[in-house]
Structure 1
Amino acid sequence: MTGLAHDYLDLDSLLSPEERALRERVRGFVDERIRPHIAAWYEAAHFPRELVPELGALGLLGMHLHGHGCPGRSAVEYGLAAMELEAGDSGLRTFVSVQGSLAMSAIAKFGSDDQQRRWLPGMAAGELIGCFGLTEPTAGSDPASMRTTARRDGDGWVLDGAKRWIGLASIADVAVVWARTDDGTGTIRGFLVPTATDGFTATPITGKLGMRASIQCDIALDGVRVGDDALLPGATGLTGPFSCLNEARYGIMWGAMGAARDAYEAALRYALERRQFGVQIAAFQLTQQKLVDMVLEIQKGVLVALHTGRLKDAGRLRPQQISFGKLNNVRTAIAICREARTVLGGNGITLEHAPLRHANNLEAVRTYEGTDEIHTLIMGRSVTGIPAFGGAA
């Protein structure tokens, strides 16, 4: 395969030597520690917890954060790492996203000095695991309707409620839980809840058709009592969790392109090796059209992610622009993975090949951190100046 097969527009020339070196380190880790095992992990619905300290040693946990043992890398470097991890599997990139972009970001952005010192060094090293409890059984795209409550009780708080689709909750040491307070205003606040606290229960969700090498849970909060030092002092209202979601959404736009690239490269290898009617199937016009369409969309998607990352590093990125990348790149990546599967024919529905596994994972990625519909409405409000959430005109 030629260089044009992998990087048609020479996008590597837009990266610094340091950025390329970091990408190659993560790619090597994926090739050595994830690719040989991912099919078995996916089939068994197994998350390889033993990789967590290795991810920490690579500097991938909270890698865009500064201080308290965090790596302090750039947004583009974080994006490149996310792309390589998701080329292995969405579940492994999701771990890094939940740990760093959600749980660690919440503590770094809104936590007290004591909270940051207590949790961030261990989380950056992979010695401690965090989760982020926002979504509820009846409050997914509409977090303002959350029912989890935090009631003042003496010098502490009592939390009651339920959360759903919470990544890592059953293996986490600390949960960032968002709840509506009983202070008369119903303000949403964040709390750091050690998962060993009485009344906290996390139950893994089974029967998933995607994200099988990852952990998502139901959380029950039944009279969970925490001290006043559990309250995140810097977060009031939904602005706090939304800012963390935007960190995760940013990584997703890169990660999705990693899955798409891996599916395309699998289809290309197969097309060059597989022979039908006496020739390589890569010689057929329709196969070449499929491959070219994949190249077009992958290169455009990476350009979107890279430009977004440069804006983020320059401090000029707006949340509405993150919605552009998340919406476009995940939707595009699913189409690429499905098309790559068709090149593989019937063999493509087995775990011997990656494209359909990636497509199944991306169905979950398409839904979490804002559905297509939510990001469409975010963009629509920016374009028209008219909010249309909840059917409002």
Structure 2
Amino acid sequence: MEFFKKIKQITHLMKQVDFAELNEISEKIDLPKIMKSVGELDDTQLKGLTKLLTEKAKKGQRQLPPIDGDFYDYDLNLTQEQREIQMKVRNFMETEVEPIANDYWKRAEFPMEIIPKLAELNITGVAYVGYGCPNLSFVMEGIIAEEISRVDVSISTFFGVHSGLAMGSIYLCGSEEQKQEWLPKMQKMESIGAFALTEPNVGSGVAGGMETTCKKVGDEWILNGQKKWIGNATFADVIIIWARDVDSNQAKGFLVRKGNPGYKAEKIEDKMALRTVQNALITITDCKVLESDRLQKANSFRDTAKVLRMTRAGVAWQALGCARGAYESALKYTKKREQFGKPIAKFQLIQNHLVEMLANLTAMKAMVYRLSELQDQGLLTDEHASLAKVFCSMRTRDVVSRAREVMGGNGILLEYDVARFVADAEAIYSYEGTKEINTLIVGRAITGYSAFV
């Protein structure tokens, strides 16, 4: 805690520093290392640094505050280890992904070359216990989702599908043998996972209307049907296929391996959002899967729902990251863009948009932070996750819209990034349960009445 008190002191002092210059410097330094060094300063050294910063501020011109969407300093709640992980992820996203994000988004292709580099961060399966996973917290998992989405929501979706939905299905519903086989190599990203639940004719109503079927014949299961919007499915090594057992009418999960006969994945083209994500239409025709590749603890849709509950919180964090990326991009733009002889950030109407964006961000951060605390305490419910998904995805839409507005015509150009955030926010708004479905989950919880049918 003393470390962060020192950091906060330095943060407030640095408000007097030339942040245009500081932002340029920050791109060239090892920020976690600098933070560690600051935390080790004694009082005398800290006073010396204070004097140095103060003198520099007095000699300089009028200084502008930093561009930072964490207005209430929630990051000060993080431990030093968590903060270092956060900065490691942020640096990776800003140096490895940001320069190529728009190009891959425009071409609707995935940058496969970043997977080994992403694996080196050791953040996959961050909240899981064992199997090579870091075993940290769901708060940390949320922070990671925010940091990745702050630069590129597509990469966050890829990561969430692999680390959350696919690994989570095995972690929660797999046998010990299945966990030992898949989780260690998925944690290292040596094998990539996908999660196939949604279908062409069934999205929100998949719990009771799943059309993909499975039937046991001897020691094998025969799968038939189609799945749609399945991220990572065109190149994944293992795909979690959910199907309805024709004999018991219950949902079951299967580990379908890459190259399995009867499995075909076709890339979905012409998307307006998450273009970097390789979504697929999967066709399953008499696909044979061994009983040993059936998720042994997935025997009804309630088990499927456990996975969705665990990962829906992460989608709320993604919404926050998307909104934060749009806000910070727009704020930076308004400080540089001049009209009528001065930066547009000086105009009242622009400041009104920026403040409303920041208010949304701050409310979202408070909600998702508490949501993940509940998850770490084992108190997370479906309605907790659903309320955060509803609120954050709606507020993100508002933030990205205002970000686009303050940028005028340039707001629709990909080169300024905000256009990508505007489009990607639409995907966040729909996946992991639409606003309407998540609203009904919360409504049922607070009224005691189900309004689904």
**TM-score between the two structures when normalised by the length of structure 2:** 0.84
- The DSSP-based 3-state class of the residue aligned with 2:241 is strand
Partner of 1:345: 408
Percentage of matched positions with identical amino acids: 38
Partner of 1:260: 323
- Stretches of structure 1 that go unaligned for 5 or more consecutive residues are none
The code of the aligned residue for 2:191 comes to L
Shift in Å, 1:35: 0.5
Aligned ranges for residues 183-198 of structure 1 at < 5 Å? 183=247, 185-198=248-261
The code of the aligned residue for 2:86 comes to R
Aligned ranges for residues 227-238 of structure 1 at < 5 Å? 227-238=290-301
Partner of 1:336: 399
Partner of 1:241: 304
Partner of 2:222: 158
Cα deviations by residue, 1:297-317 (Å, 9 ceiling, x for unpaired):
101111111111111111112
Bigger Rg over Cα: 2
- The DSSP-based 3-state class of the residue aligned with 2:280 is strand
The code of the aligned residue for 1:166 comes to I
Aligned ranges for residues 109-258 of structure 1 at < 5 Å? 109-143=172-206, 144-183=208-247, 185-258=248-321
Query: Does the 8 Å contact 1:54/1:126 carry over to 2?
Result: no
CA distance in 2, matches of 1:232, 1:76: 28
Shift in Å, 1:4: 8.1
The code of the aligned residue for 1:74 comes to S
CA distance in 2, matches of 1:115, 1:366: 33
CA distance in 2, matches of 1:366, 1:243: 21
CA distance in 1, matches of 2:198, 2:148: 25
The code of the aligned residue for 1:11 comes to Y
Query: Does the 8 Å contact 1:60/1:96 carry over to 2?
Result: no
Are 1:269 and 2:332 an aligned pair? yes
The code of the aligned residue for 1:169 comes to A
Partner of 2:130: 67
CA distance in 2, matches of 1:129, 1:22: 22
Aligned pair count reads 389
Are 1:376 and 2:439 an aligned pair? yes
CA distance in 1, matches of 2:69, 2:388: 21
Partner of 2:351: 288
Cα deviations by residue, 1:113-169 (Å, 9 ceiling, x for unpaired):
111111111111111011111111111001120111111111111111111111111
Query: Does the 8 Å contact 2:198/2:229 carry over to 1?
Result: yes
Partner of 2:385: 322
Are 1:103 and 2:180 an aligned pair? no
Partner of 2:77: 14
The code of the aligned residue for 1:168 comes to N
Cα deviations by residue, 1:266-312 (Å, 9 ceiling, x for unpaired):
11111111111122111111001000001111011111111111111
Query: Does the 8 Å contact 2:126/2:133 carry over to 1?
Result: yes
CA distance in 2, matches of 1:59, 1:161: 36
- Stretches of structure 2 that go unaligned for 5 or more consecutive residues are 1-63
Q: Out of 90, 96, 104, which is 1:27 matched to?
A: 90
The code of the aligned residue for 1:164 comes to K
Farther-moved stretch of structure 1 (56-65 vs 227-236): 56-65
CA distance in 2, matches of 1:4, 1:316: 35
**TM-score between the two structures when normalised by the length of structure 1:** 0.96
Shift in Å, 1:88: 1.3
Higher relative contact order (CA 8 A, sep 6+): 1
The code of the aligned residue for 2:436 comes to E
Shift in Å, 1:178: 0.8
* Larger fraction in strand: 1
Shift in Å, 1:262: 1.3
Query: Does the 8 Å contact 1:338/1:356 carry over to 2?
Result: no
Shift in Å, 1:5: 5.2
